[in-house]
Structure 1
């Protein structure tokens, strides 16, 4: 009888800790490595270099192909973006200072310096993710676009995350939740 009670107790203990471990694995599957809270757009990036070097950009600056700048179809000038190369996960922060043609199939055109940081010079074009630095930028973009948000652009506000900790189940706590006859049989 003691063996059966001990085996049942161990089975319940390891079975419940196995369920807890399985729950943690399921929770970990829902955790994304790249936080999508500030993601605003995904698509193809290209870069431009020597042909436009030292020419005037759409906002009036002189283009320097070594600076970390970019051209976008409609984001406000001065917008800071994190550009993530989805092939190798390298990233770079750029400032929008130029315009892409409205008919372009690219989401962004990067300076050669930014393209070098993303290790995309050889490829020429790569799939990218565009992110803004914070929720305040998202609020300002929502205000900027009003009802005319471009198709394909994602502008969402998220509430602040709530932190919580899962309590650890110890053997004593587990024994308190077991039926009375199992506890008493273990004490015999």
Structure 2
């Protein structure tokens, strides 16, 4: 190593120390929030396909096994949910359009199109995480229930803060500087 190579290395180290590592920055989608408050449920997902293809779903539409739709026990029809396959990290956004039986041990039943996207066809069932897309969606879903079911979490982003002002500190004179 010659003196020039050593000087270059010192310069690079000095620049990194001064300005930090160069990191690629990506804009956050306005439709999702990277927040653990959006997590509503964790459990097992399965998928359904050919047997129910072109049959009527619980909301009255015809099931297409290639659409990104899903069945859930009680989420309102039309709810958009981000499903994450926790085995591989693959994600999909699905629309709830059908119902699971109340006795089901699974939390969601996905169409074959979603199952293919999440790479779960060979496994059949996989552990998943369900998230709503925004804090407004949490509020909307909560408003759809008289009583929120115990198996989902619908936590508020904004929580009420109660405080009492100290009236004596408000009345204290402000020190004037010359």
Whole-angstrom distance in 2 between the partners of 1:37 and 1:151: 16
Would you say 1:90 and 2:90 are equivalent positions?
Answer: yes
SS at match of 1:145: coil
Whole-angstrom distance in 1 between the partners of 2:73 and 2:57: 13
Whole-angstrom distance in 1 between the partners of 2:151 and 2:57: 25
- CA offsets 1:63-119 (integer angstroms, 9 cap, x no match): 000000000000000000000000001000000000000100000000000001100
How many pairs align? 126
SS at match of 1:114: helix
Aligned to 1:58: 58
TM-score by length of 2: 0.68
CA RMSD of aligned residues (A): 1.3
Whole-angstrom distance in 2 between the partners of 1:109 and 1:141: 19
Would you say 1:35 and 2:9 are equivalent positions?
Answer: no
Would you say 1:76 and 2:67 are equivalent positions?
Answer: no
| Alignment map for 1:88-127 (pairs within 5 Å) | 88-127=88-127
Whole-angstrom distance in 2 between the partners of 1:101 and 1:79: 18
Aligned to 1:154: 153
**CA positional deviation for 1:151:** 1.6
Whole-angstrom distance in 2 between the partners of 1:78 and 1:91: 18
Aligned to 1:5: none
Structure 1 moving runs of 4+ over 6 Å: none
Whole-angstrom distance in 1 between the partners of 2:131 and 2:64: 23
TM-score by length of 1: 0.65
Query: Higher helix share goes to which structure?
Result: 1
What are the ranges of 5 or more consecutive residues in structure 2 without an aligned counterpart?
Answer: 1-33, 160-178
What are the ranges of 5 or more consecutive residues in structure 1 without an aligned counterpart?
Answer: 1-33, 161-188
